[in-house]
Amino acid sequence: MFDSSGSKLLLVQAEPVLAELTSFRLKLLGYQIELVGSGGEATTSLQESLPNLVIVDTQLPDTDGIEWITRIRGDYAPEQLPIIIFSLDPSLETVERAYHAGAQDYLITPFDPAVMEEKIETLLGHRLVLRHS
């Protein structure tokens, strides 16, 4: 099992209920969570402190989450900053756009919390392996 203690996650989610439920679940697993509601707030947060992983929604009030990832990838490589994207849209086109933008995983909402946990652990574990290689 992955040791989540000390891992800081940035959750970029404008929908209050989903944000609180996701944040609560991740805190129970031992993650430190910073919750922001827009792409602008997320960018500011990244400039202040780099989290271990970002979870971002496709629909934000000030930008498209996929476009935000594209901009962020200009500054942070996937091994520096793993990104999972949330979306209500299960279409292949949206999934492909997300991966091409630089997301490393895709989670369709509503989601199974165990699946979210597994995806986060996989990306954080992969990041540790890359950093120690």
Q: Domain extents for the chain? A: 8-131
Q: Is the pLDDT of residue 129 over 90?
A: no
The pLDDT tens digits for 57-106 are 999 999 999 999 999 999 999 999 999 999 999 999 999 999 999 999 99
Share of the chain above pLDDT 90, in %: 87
Q: What is the pTM of this model?
A: 0.91
State the CATH architecture for 8-131: 3-Layer(aba) Sandwich (3.40)
The answer to whether the CB of 109 falls within 8 A of the CB of 85 is no
Pair of tokens at residue 2:
């992955």
Report the amino acid identity of residue 62.
D
Question: Residue 87 is inside which H or E element, if any?
Answer: strand 83-87
Where residue 78 falls (left for φ over 0; alpha for ψ -120 to 50; beta otherwise) is: alpha
